[in-house]
Amino acid sequence: MSMEMVAWNQMYMAMTGPNEKRPFSRATLRRILEFAQPHRKLLIGFLILSVATAILGVATPVLAGRVINAIVDGDAPRVVVILALIIGALAIADAALGLVTRWLSARIGEGLILHLRTAVFDHVQRMPIAFFTRTRTGALVSRLNNDVIGAQRAFSDTLSGVVANFVTLLLTLVVMVQISWQVTLLSLVLLPVFVLPARRMGSRLASLERESANHDSAMSTQMTERFSAPGATLVKLFGQPKRESAEFAARASRVADIGVRIAMAQTIFATALTLVSALAIAVVYGLGGFYALKGQLDPGAVVSLSLLLTRLYAPLTALANARVEVMSAMVSFERVFEVLDLKPLITDKPGAQRVPEGPASLEVDAVTFAYPSADKVSLASLEEVATLDTRGGDVVLHNVSLRADPGQVVALVGSSGAGKSTIAQLVSRLYDVDDGAVRISGVDVRDLTAESIKQTVGMVTQDGHLFHDTIRGNLLLARPEATEEELWDSLGRARLATLVRSLPDGLETVVGERGYRLSGGERQRLTIARLLLARPRVVILDEATASLDSTSEKAVQEALGEALEGRTALVIAHRLSTIRAANVILVLEDGQIVERGTHAELLAAGGRYDELYRTQFQTDVADDEKVAAPS
């Protein structure tokens, strides 16, 4: 069995007794060790040095006793000097080992933080959109920060402490028994006082740590939401600052109260154990002094026993506290693993192929779909609810079929909630269908690689999301290898180059969080420029002009004309004027296609499309009726 496994077993036994329900299984410990594998060599060296430090710690009290005996026995001064020099050398060696051990501890700890954070970040990026629509951002960020650091403590602090203290305890007991088994036995009478409180205290403190972590994540969520540009605007317009402050203060106060309770519980525990240790030393002085006066024990042995006793009860105290520290670290590991154990709904199947080359067609074939239930995509702790809803979502698409051949524009219209955006998300494979199939160039998207789908399908959404980065940085998300000329070409085709050239920093202008330093039309045109830079073969426009004024809409429409040219397109629009030229228009209601045809055909039919069109364009109805009427 490896040294690490021995150490973890000791920690495991410190946490749980033979008749106690074990909150963490050996499988969990083995899983933790998997994260330690990249740091195996450093960890072994770290543990070896910890053992060496423990040995030096036991040697010093023994040498101190010999110094006392040398003085009492009247040995030559040279003997005392040599012993003192050895003690000094051991102190220097102990200090040097301490520095190296701390360096190794830092390397292991920071390496583990990097490994855990990267694993969580990469895993979260593979989660479905439903995960992000349900999860509190602050709670998720807390897992990447506070919980990862809490888990790291198990390696850099607790693990070495358990090994060093366990070795120190064994060596100290062996040496003390050799000096005087009677005194050693009597000094251990108070040992149960160490064990019983530790067993009770661990679970209580772990519960407090978990509660504190939950409140911390709630505070992070509130700050994340309120400190964003739209959140701050909402609070200023409709919020009540005093209520917001009171709500935050209540959560922060709860965290502070728990912190005080944890600190006091640990302090009382440590103080009680220190007191017991002092009483044990008194016993050693009393009984050892009695034996020394009777000539049954050397004076130096009494001194060695008293010093060794501090070396005995100190590791006992540390090992008793190790249960508390391990439980706290395990809570952090539990919260990190909880995120890592969430299974992504969308993954590449073995042998997945790339989208075939050439112009791409798009087909939605008899698709039925309902959004997944909460328990499949989220965690109760990330939503700040007691339990997740296990009920499946309502069916939002019923046997929907459509087709867009290369170069065609297919438009989707209908009431809000009819299922238009859901179709767009299925085509982009943000979700998988429950029944039926979505195909690109004749291949089911479930048989295609996610990377090739992203390269083939480009989408512009209504909100035109941008990162808090430069214009260049936001554009390069689409194609990192793009040249300067290609960047300006995409901006020009999106009718945005003149504006960007007029900015003092040009492409290096920071757009602000979500692009809030730009107007709505400018932000939308920048997302279109990003789309043009990506050069997708299939374009999806999801309400791309819904929130724009007439002037901005005209500029965006010109940019969209560039984006759609020569590409297969799926256009979702509330403003029906934007899709008059579509090859085919589909009307969705309650998740079903109720009408399909061209603009003129649907107006002539006098159905739902005609009703929607009349509602929006009362003044233009007469002209369009002339166009639709048969000659």
- Give the tens place of pLDDT for each residue, 573-610: 777 766 787 889 999 998 899 999 988 888 888 888 88
| Residue 359, Ramachandran bin (φ over 0: left; ψ between -120 and 50: alpha; else beta) | beta
- Which of 80-94, 123-137, 201-215 has the weakest average pLDDT? 201-215
pLDDT at 89 over 60: yes
SS3 state at 16: coil
Q: What is the 3-state secondary structure (H, E, C) of 390-445?
A: CCCCCEEEEEEEEEECCCCEEEEEECCCCCHHHHHHHHCCCCCCCEEEEEECCEEH
pLDDT at residue number 11: 42
- The mean pLDDT of 205-216, rounded to a whole number, is 72
The two tokens of residue 403 are: 């087709």
Q: What is the third-level CATH fold of 362-383+391-597? A: Rossmann fold (3.40.50)
**Model confidence at 515, in pLDDT bands (50, 70, 90)?**
low
The distance of Cα 442 from the centroid of its chain, to the nearest Å, equals 37
Q: Which of 134, 124, 121 is nearest to 375 (CA)?
A: 134
Q: Model pTM greater than 0.85?
A: no
Find the helix packing angle between 160-179 and 299-340, rounded to 10°: 160
- The mean pLDDT of 472-491, rounded to a whole number, is 88
Q: How many residues does the chain have?
A: 631
On the 0-12 / 13-18 / 19+ scale of CB atoms within 10 A, 582 is buried
Alpha-carbon gap, residue 460 to 454, rounded angstroms: 13
User: Beta strand 584-589 with 409-414: parallel, antiparallel or unpaired?
Assistant: parallel
pLDDT at 498 over 50: yes
Instruction: Judge if 3-340 and 362-383+391-597 fold alike in CATH terms.
Output: no
**Model confidence at 22, in pLDDT bands (50, 70, 90)?**
very low
Give alpha helix (H) positions in 37-153.
40-73, 77-125, 129-134, 137-142, 148-153
pLDDT at residue number 78: 82
Q: Which of 156, 109, 161 is nearest to 321 (CA)?
A: 161
Report the largest interatomic distance among the alpha carbons of the chain, rounded to a whole angstrom: 131
Residues 570, 539 contacting (CB under 8 angstroms): yes
Sign, CA dihedral 478-479-483-485, equals negative
pLDDT at 478 over 60: yes
Of 241-255, 262-276, 304-318, 413-427, give the range with the top mean pLDDT. 413-427
Alpha-carbon gap, residue 103 to 113, rounded angstroms: 15
**Model confidence at 24, in pLDDT bands (50, 70, 90)?**
low
pLDDT at residue number 215: 74
Of 9-18, 72-81, 366-375, give the range with the top mean pLDDT. 366-375
What's the half-sphere exposure (Cβ side, CA atoms, 13 Å) at 386? 0
Provide the percentage of residues in the chain whose pLDDT is more than 90: 9
**DSSP code string of 125-185:** HTS-HHHHHHS-HHHHHHIIIIIHHHHHHIIIIIIHHHHHHHHHHHHHHHHHHHH-HHHHH
The two tokens of residue 303 are: 């001194």
* Better-predicted residue by pLDDT, 554 or 10: 554
Q: Which amino acid is at 420?
A: K
Kindly give, in sequence order, each residue whose CB lies less than 8 Å from that of residue 212, ignoring residues fewer than 6 positions away: 255, 258, 259, 262
**Model confidence at 208, in pLDDT bands (50, 70, 90)?**
confident
pLDDT at residue number 548: 56
pLDDT at residue number 228: 65
Give ∠ CA 379-382-385 in degrees, rounded to 5: 80
pLDDT at residue number 621: 44
- The mean pLDDT of 479-500, rounded to a whole number, is 87
The distance of Cα 28 from the centroid of its chain, to the nearest Å, equals 19
Alpha-carbon gap, residue 406 to 569, rounded angstroms: 8
**Model confidence at 631, in pLDDT bands (50, 70, 90)?**
very low
Alpha-carbon gap, residue 414 to 265, rounded angstroms: 62
Find the helix packing angle between 26-36 and 77-125, rounded to 10°: 100
pLDDT at residue number 447: 93
What are 218-257's pLDDT values in tens digits? 777 777 767 666 666 666 666 667 777 787 888 788 888 8
* Better-predicted residue by pLDDT, 274 or 199: 274
Q: What is the third-level CATH fold of 3-340? A: ABC transporter transmembrane region fold (1.20.1560)
* Better-predicted residue by pLDDT, 567 or 587: 587
* Better-predicted residue by pLDDT, 85 or 212: 85
- Which of 126-130, 198-202, 392-396 has the weakest average pLDDT? 198-202
pLDDT at residue number 151: 73
The two tokens of residue 376 are: 């499949």
**Model confidence at 399, in pLDDT bands (50, 70, 90)?**
very high
pLDDT at residue number 2: 42
Alpha-carbon gap, residue 74 to 118, rounded angstroms: 65
Long-range contacts from 271-276, C-beta under 8 angstroms, 24+ separation: 272/193, 272/197, 273/193, 273/194, 273/197, 273/313, 273/316, 273/317, 273/320, 274/317, 276/190, 276/193, 276/194, 276/313
What are 150-205's pLDDT values in tens digits? 777 666 666 666 777 787 788 888 888 888 777 777 777 766 665 566 556 656 77
- Which of 50-54, 354-358, 440-444, 557-561 has the weakest average pLDDT? 557-561
Residue 370: strand pairing partners: 395
Alpha-carbon gap, residue 200 to 114, rounded angstroms: 34
Q: Which of 576, 592, 599, 482 is nearest to 529 (CA)?
A: 482
- The mean pLDDT of 612-621, rounded to a whole number, is 64
Residues 281, 256 contacting (CB under 8 angstroms): no
Domain ranges of the chain: 3-340, 362-383+391-597
Give ∠ CA 123-215-235 in degrees, rounded to 5: 90
* Better-predicted residue by pLDDT, 197 or 212: 212
pLDDT at residue number 103: 85
pLDDT at 446 over 90: yes
Q: What is the mean pLDDT of the chain?
A: 77
On the 0-12 / 13-18 / 19+ scale of CB atoms within 10 A, 192 is exposed
pLDDT at 280 over 70: yes
The two tokens of residue 30 are: 């083995």
Other CB atoms within 10 Å distance of the CB of residue 433: 21
